Amino acid sequence: MTLPLFPTELTVLIEPTVTKLTLTKAQKQFNTLVKKIETLKAQLAEWHDAVPRHSERIHREYQPLRDAFNTLRLELVSLLDRARTEKRLTKNEIKKIRQLIPSITAELMTEQPSDAVKALHDKYSDIGYDEQSEEVDDALKSMMGEVFGIDVGDDVDINDPEQLRAMLERRAHEEHERIHEREQQSGTRRAKNKKTARQIDQEQQKISNAALVQKSLQEVFRKLVAALHPDRAPDDAERERRTELMQRVNVAYEKRDLLQLLELLVQVEQVGKTNISAQSDERLKHFNQLLKEQSETLLRALAEAQLPFRYQLGLSPFAPLSVTVLVAHMEQDIRGMKSSVASLKDDLRVFQDPARLKAWLRDFEISQEPEFDDLMDVFSMSPFGVK
């Protein structure tokens, strides 16, 4: 018997039959959980597949534009620095230049840092770049704690995506370990205390249910092992195919991926959906417990995959986020950067005429000193740099 390596459609949903038109509560819950898991798996696969491709496009299309834009901005601040020494500028125009240069150089330092750019920034700023950068990073770390509940340590460069991702993974692992340790300590404390008969019955029931759930998983696994054992294959080609399938079975069992095991079982036994429909409600309850665990694991994995982008987009952990939204931001950023480069090229050409530069400075409005709340604007930056 030759088996497909990869199921192409959902095969385990329970449907009403001619003799049984209404599904039981356990059957309905089973179907709901199966659909939820399939949706989460598809979303997680989309993120894992799409993010690298989009990152490659950022490096290929967006980053060269950003580099060109930064080069032009450096030309602009150099031009403004030279213009400040000219006697033809008014005090108000010089004041505007003194505000523009540190604002632009501060952004340049985050992307193309150099001693020359830092010196130019500090020449016009009351606060040195290093001190200012430290204040901003502290504010961002504080906001991450308040908005996302993440404690970012002093050893993490919040502007480095790779460091941020590694830190998030480390924090998630540490939190898992703390929860496990608390559960063990709690169990030890409970064991030392005298328990009521009801508490003892509840704990025994919990242990019994957990054992039955594990037994249900093992039974599905054993059926697959018996059906797919490579030594029972009629030829080398089928032996190789079964070996690959068994690798998938083993991975699914280790991950407690009941849905994957059930999909394979239905195909192997070639009995269709009746195989699952024939399960008793008691057995389906055990299946449902495994499916709940699986859906929760997938939800955590999806949240971890999205978290760096939620941070960069300034979204809460509960705001909807999809690959489509991420792509839309990327497209917007590329279009915006092309427009910014073209516009700045025109400005630099125009500003070669001192009279035109004076006219632009005259119309330029000085902004008020930024308030602390304005740092939230940093959270409204896209992951690719353009607001």
Residue-wise pLDDT tens digits, 207-246: 666 666 677 778 778 888 887 878 777 888 888 888 888 8
Q: What are the structure tokens assigned to 267, written together?
A: 């195909």
First to last CA, the chain: 58
List pLDDT tens digits, range 134-146: 777 777 667 666 6
List pLDDT tens digits, range 6-56: 344 446 787 776 567 788 898 898 889 889 988 998 998 888 887 788 778
Give mean pLDDT, residues 286-301. Answer: 86
Taking each helix axis from N to C terminus, what angle separates 115-124 and 91-111, rounded to the nearest 10 degrees? Answer: 150
Look at residues 275, 268, 221, 289 and name the one whose alpha carbon lies nearest to residue 14: 275
Model confidence, pTM: 0.55
Q: What are the structure tokens assigned to 295, written together?
A: 């859906």
C-alpha separations of 365 from 79, 93, 102, 178 in Å: 19, 10, 16, 53
Buried (b) or exposed (e) across 72-96, using 16+ Cβ within 10 A?
bbbebbebbeebbeeeebeeebbeb
- CA–CA separation, 311 and 294 (whole Å): 26
3-state class of 379 per DSSP? Answer: helix
8 A C-beta contact, residue 213 and residue 258: no
Q: Is the dihedral of CA 135, 137, 140, 144 positive or negative?
A: negative
- Whole-number mean pLDDT of the chain? 77
Give the confidence band of 376 by pLDDT, cuts at 50, 70, 90.
very low
